[in-house]
Chains A and B, each alone.
Chain A
């Protein structure tokens, strides 16, 4: 049993993050409970709410954060730093899924029949909005979600993703153009 401090913990404090990384259960729980909803929402937006890997990615975000707590410089809030990790992890997963789906679509186009989907995805259900969002490539989807849905500034998105601001502008423009076209197309159908 570990003895832990009874002093109140601030979920945005670097001290809480360090305590959690050192194995203080109270700090881990505080950090997790304070941020998990936002991290989950973030990951679910990028991957799709019904994607089978959402839960695993969220767990990985917290593990990676506690593993790399030493690299937290305190320049941003802990929540922003966590969202940065969440963005990168979710984006990696989304890119991998996108590549896999692209091969599957290509296989269908050249007459190889329907590619085998992973069984856990076989039963996944998606809302129309989610399907629409998934039509965007991961990089465009991420910037659209972070900027237009979650309301982050380009500077914040740059800090989260490490992508240059002009590139982010271009990706957002492309995402909106693609979405507008898809929505118009759906309206005509």
Chain B
């Protein structure tokens, strides 16, 4: 005889059907932290460039790209027999105006597409024929192709509409996602379209099934022939989503505008594919504000953030900073992270921002600045694990600077404030290595 179902059984079923999900940003951030804590060297050889050289390279590269776009667009000439597919290229694009092809070529990860009225860009990728999967960026749209290499494909759509045909070669292993200001649309193989406007994100599925994950609220499955709309976020939604300190005056339109600003920043940092004529301001290099505030109080004083346009939410800034760090653009990453430090009232968030700032300096081998940033991270949120991790990292930085006494002092402090901390045994080992026999096993 089976026992009757109890309310707790129903509850367990409900929990099982909606497991806590780990988003890609947090997944990547934790991976980076784990690797850094383990002091694992990057297997890929790094090319180290000074910020000045790098900035110069970006300006030259973007100016050249803009010139090419301008010339090609104005000439409006396309050789139909042009070999548009290079087997080693991850993707190719074709730009059309009023239905007629006007330009085609290779398409690289990180490129942004902006289309004007009557223009459409079709990007094909996946498989040798470059035709297994297609993304069509509709007229008057803006899409950033953040990831198109490997098994993950991702687009940030900040304006207009994209239509996606995704047919993976290895179903279940390859993923495609479209991210908008208020939702994430995930698929494993299907045909669908995503529209963004002031009212929200509209998803229409032609084939297969997609999962739509609003920034706030329940994920939902949308099957072929169905459509759904995720309304633009309100302030309360943002708060419920765990974002920091909502701004009272923020409206849905401003949220979208903020996302636009985020993409514009990325667009300036990378090759920018514009079907329309590029305006000079779009390709101009911005100044990097990568200096630390003199005093922490100054950081708390609400100095104006440098990027123009509506203020960005902290999670958007963290996302941007992470992308910049991954691209080796440490100055830009610091710019975003300092803006978080100045704007947030949440201590742990500030500690995390300082920790990421320290990471950027450490990657540039500026251990002195990295140590200072770790010190600020530690002071930002005493008693939290984020602070303890920063303290341990500060000790490691002191070691890198050959300041053994200072390192030992820091490790002792770590053992004192976090005797059961995740890195406590490492701190004790370091102290032993530094000659403090009291910490030797």
Contact = CB atoms under 8 A, between A and B. Distances in A.
Contacts of B389: 56, 59
Given A41-B20, A56-B386, A1 B244 contact: no
B11 A120 contact: no
Contacts of A36: 22, 27, 30-31
A15 interface: no
A69 to B, nearest CB: 11
Interface string B224-259: 000000000000000111111100000000000000
A1 B16 contact: no
A59 B30 contact: yes
Contact of A62 (B20, B34, B39, B384): B34
Interface residues of B, number: 52
Contacts of B31: 29, 32-33, 36
Contacts of A37: 22, 27
Interface in B1-20: 6-12, 14-16, 18-20
A183 interface: yes
Nearest to B29: A55
Contact of B19 (A41, A52, A120): A41
Interface string B43-55: 1010000000000
Interface string A119-140: 1101111000100110000000
B349 interface: yes
A125 B345 CA distance: 17
A59 B239 contact: no
Contact of B37 (A4, A25, A53, A63): A63
Nearest to A181: B7
Contacts of A133: 15
A183 B240 CA distance: 23
Contacts of B45: 1
B20 A119 contact: no
Contacts of A119: 345-348
Contacts of A118: 384
Among A45, A52, A55, max chain B CB count under 10 A is at A55
B11 A59 contact: no
Nearest to A122: B346
Contacts of B349: 120
Given A41-B19, A50-B242, A59-B422, A28 B11 contact: no
A123 B33 contact: no
Nearest to A23: B40
A145 B426 CA distance: 32
Contact of A63 (B6, B16, B386, B423): B423
Given A2-B43, A149-B15, A66 B38 contact: yes
B20 A25 contact: no
A64 interface: yes
A179 interface: yes
Contact of A28 (B20, B35, B385): B35
A40 B20 contact: yes
18 contacts: A24-B40, A26-B43, A36-B27, A41-B20, A44-B20, A53-B385, A56-B389, A62-B30, A63-B37, A63-B38, A119-B348, A120-B349, A123-B243, A125-B239, A148-B12, A179-B7, A183-B11, A184-B7
Q: Which 8 A-B pairs have CB atoms at the shortest separation, nearest pair first?
A: A44-B20, A60-B422, A183-B7, A49-B20, A148-B12, A56-B385, A125-B240, A120-B348
Interface of B: 6-12, 14-16, 18-20, 22, 26-27, 29-31, 33-35, 37-43, 45, 239-245, 345-349, 381, 384-386, 389, 420, 422-423, 425-426
Interface of A: 1-2, 4, 23-26, 28-29, 32-33, 36-37, 40-41, 44-45, 49-50, 52-53, 55-60, 62-64, 66-67, 92, 118-120, 122-125, 129, 132-133, 144-145, 148-149, 175-176, 179-180, 183-184, 187
Given A4-B43, A119-B345, 12 more contacts: A2-B40, A25-B40, A25-B43, A44-B20, A55-B29, A119-B348, A120-B348, A129-B11, A129-B15, A175-B8, A183-B7, A183-B8
